[in-house]
Structure 1
Amino acid sequence: MGNDDKCILVTGGAGFIGSHTVELLLASGYSVRVLDNFSSGHIDNLPQHEHLDIVQGDIRDQEQVNAVMQGATHCLHLAAQVSVSRSVEDPCDSATHNILGALNVMHAAAQAKVSKLVYASSAAVYGAPSQLPLTEASALAPLSPYGLEKWVDERYAALLASLHGLPSLGLRYFNVYGPRQDPRSPYAGVVARFIDRMLAHQAPIIFGDGTQSRDFIYVGDVARANLTALFSTHCGICNVATGQQIDLLDLIDLLSRSTGCTLPAQHLPAKAEDIRHSYGDPHRLAEWLSLTPQWTMDEGLGELIHHCRQTMTDDERPPLTVNA
């Protein structure tokens, strides 16, 4: 079976991670079907391509999910409510997306007997780590409904593997950044928010003292992991991480050099659901998927800053005399 004989269903394919993965799948010769409700994804993120079919719909609609799953040989499930803070504010709504919606996709994939289901989990399942780096065997103690929902998804995937023989691989993404991450969205990551403010010559905002650290991984490396996972024989759970950490103050120093904005950060109180330090062990990523992240932090930030500058409107551009 060649690449053109495979049809990949990507839920949430118009989103940040999804659109990068769709582009890579198409470039690799696969046919792709996207299911997206466009609540946070954008149609403009997707290319016009003869092997791309776009369906507007919602993973919470079981009949629609069953319909789009028909004919799919593989499924990449990325559609989700991805804001940690929103899951805290409205856990019931978050669970309809991240548990019931995910279960619709998993059950439909099992019934359609897809060759492989790959789904987005998160480093949020670990909670506040007692030991670093985090391995797939580390204790799980999520601090937010979002993290708990992703843990429940992992348990459902394991159960459906036992009940129906559904081959699945859950990818625990760490802090993904890159182009198309909307900095104005409540779903935006800290990198996009910092860059958005600094390009407008506004002080970046930090919740807490800024010494908290994260494992940032570029979206291009995540797209490669998604594609490889779809055709891997491995099932279970895998971290998608670099194995390196950087604190937010050092991140702002890097961005200051790239954006020219040297305003000191504005500090606000830390959020209760925020984790102090986190970075992942990428050994399984290398062993199972033969992948090591290719993008350095400098390279990835450069791509994101270039993208942000290209998409700024004239009203958003700061006057040229700001730093004079």
Structure 2
Amino acid sequence: MIVDFNILEGKKILVTGGAGFIGSNLIEKLLNLKAEVVCLDNFATGKRENIEPFLANPNFKLIEGDIRNIEICKKACEDQEFVLHQAALGSVPRSINDPITSNEVNVGGFLNMLVAAKDMGVKRMVYAASSSTYGDSAALPKIEANIGKPLSPYAITKYVNELYADVFKKTYDFNTIGLRYFNVFGKRQDPNGPYAAVIPKFVQMLIKHQSPVINGGGEYSRDFTYIDNVVQMNILAITTDNEAALNEVYNVACGDRTTLNDLLDYLKEYLSEYDGNIRNIQAEYGPYRKGDVAHSLASIEKAEKLLGYKPEYTVKGGLEKAVNWYWENLK
């Protein structure tokens, strides 16, 4: 999809969770397109170094605050045309260990942002939904209209976001677009901590010549999605003038699935170009995790049809770029 990027020049856009992995990549792209960007983050999971390169940009402003505070949300939404809502507590295991905080941030904070955006006259809010919403539905590929029962507190919170967004259109005529992210990876994704995503964690362990631990037998599969595809979808969501595309939820993915075993093989292949010893590292296998979905594969037909989405990167193409970034930044 060819987007007239000039349309974003001078646009006022708030990115919540802007110091996080996805948020900081969005801000980088928006600033390159000459938008005026406000970042709202409390740095609970976001990192200051992710936004440090933007601080000298006159089109960038940082508001340090928590989306659980409605007044902070309203302040951040002042004079904004669009909101890209990325702030959340991710991770299924985190939500299982602490469902209360996950609910406070992901549901209470989301509702605060909806209210603030509506009250402050924001035109549209695009929000990070999640593939976890498909729950126990075994059907493949995942089609937006067909979901199952949630398998974790995190999945419940992200589904509630979609329900609130739908009600806000019907009740207040406030426009939203939800983006169900499928296992996003790429530069600035944190490999550390107990809730780190699988790709940066595997990469870090391989660089250190340690054996990655795969939960289960390694045949669980995911629709891994490179960050640039996610950035593309967010831009399409705020620039679309297709009325039929508004107040919908879309899968953000490649439309392809990769097993964890295959993923590890790809990572070893690309990393071995920098360090040949990595090719011989073998995985260790642990128990399955509670709340994990066995297989995930997205249909991207709806996004292609209504938003003109076309993934810029395949899984392997994205992994090659990500590995290059991690080698430069983790070794």
Same fold, TM exceeding 0.5? yes
Query: 2:78 aligned with 1:73, yes or no?
Result: no
Provide the C-alpha distance between the structure 1 equivalents of 2:33 and 2:80, rounded to a whole number of angstroms.
17
Partner of 1:286 in structure 2? 304
Provide the C-alpha distance between the structure 2 equivalents of 1:187 and 1:116, rounded to a whole number of angstroms.
31
Partner of 2:275 in structure 1? none
Query: 2:27 aligned with 1:18, yes or no?
Result: no
Provide the C-alpha distance between the structure 2 equivalents of 1:190 and 1:56, rounded to a whole number of angstroms.
29
Kept in 1: contact 2:12–2:81 (CA 8 A): yes
Query: 2:156 aligned with 1:148, yes or no?
Result: yes
Structure 2: where are the runs of 5+ without partners? Answer: 1-5, 273-277
Query: 2:219 aligned with 1:211, yes or no?
Result: yes
Query: 2:49 aligned with 1:55, yes or no?
Result: no
Q: Secondary structure at the match of 1:34?
A: strand
Kept in 1: contact 2:254–2:315 (CA 8 A): no
Which of 250, 260, 265 is residue 253 of structure 1 equivalent to? Answer: 265
Partner of 1:298 in structure 2? 316
Partner of 1:172 in structure 2? 180
RMSD: 1.4
Partner of 1:41 in structure 2? 46
Kept in 2: contact 1:179–1:308 (CA 8 A): yes
The CA deviation at 1:230 is 1.2
With normalisation by structure 2, the TM-score equals 0.91
Equivalence map 1:262-277=2 (5 Å) = 262-277=280-295
Partner of 1:137 in structure 2? 145
Query: Per-residue CA shift, 1:23-74, capped at 9, x if unaligned?
Result: 1111112111000011111222123311011111110011111111110111
Query: Per-residue CA shift, 1:126-165, capped at 9, x if unaligned?
Result: 0133210000011231100000000001000111111111
Provide the C-alpha distance between the structure 2 equivalents of 1:139 and 1:301, rounded to a whole number of angstroms.
29
The CA deviation at 1:113 is 2.2
Partner of 1:224 in structure 2? 232
| Aligned residue pair count | 313
Query: Per-residue CA shift, 1:168-222, capped at 9, x if unaligned?
Result: 0000001100011111133421111111101111111101000000000100110
| Code of the aligned partner of 1:6 | K
| Code of the aligned partner of 2:313 | W
Provide the C-alpha distance between the structure 1 equivalents of 2:114 and 2:176, rounded to a whole number of angstroms.
9
Partner of 2:117 in structure 1? 109
Kept in 2: contact 1:215–1:246 (CA 8 A): yes
Q: Secondary structure at the match of 1:32?
A: strand
Query: 2:200 aligned with 1:192, yes or no?
Result: yes
Identity fraction in percent: 37
Provide the C-alpha distance between the structure 2 equivalents of 1:206 and 1:102, rounded to a whole number of angstroms.
33
Q: Secondary structure at the match of 1:94?
A: helix
Provide the C-alpha distance between the structure 1 equivalents of 2:28 and 2:66, rounded to a whole number of angstroms.
21
| Code of the aligned partner of 2:302 | R
Query: 2:206 aligned with 1:201, yes or no?
Result: no
Q: Secondary structure at the match of 2:199?
A: helix
Partner of 2:165 in structure 1? 157
Counterparts in 2 of 1:185 and 1:289: CA distance versus 1, 3 Å: farther
Query: Per-residue CA shift, 1:269-311, capped at 9, x if unaligned?
Result: 1012111111100011111221111112222112221222212
| Code of the aligned partner of 1:254 | Y
Partner of 1:320 in structure 2? none
Q: Secondary structure at the match of 1:170?
A: strand
Provide the C-alpha distance between the structure 1 equivalents of 2:7 and 2:131, rounded to a whole number of angstroms.
34
After superposing the two structures, state which structure 1 stretch, 250-259 or 57-66, moved more.
250-259
The CA deviation at 1:21 is 0.7
Provide the C-alpha distance between the structure 1 equivalents of 2:159 and 2:148, rounded to a whole number of angstroms.
8
| Code of the aligned partner of 1:7 | K
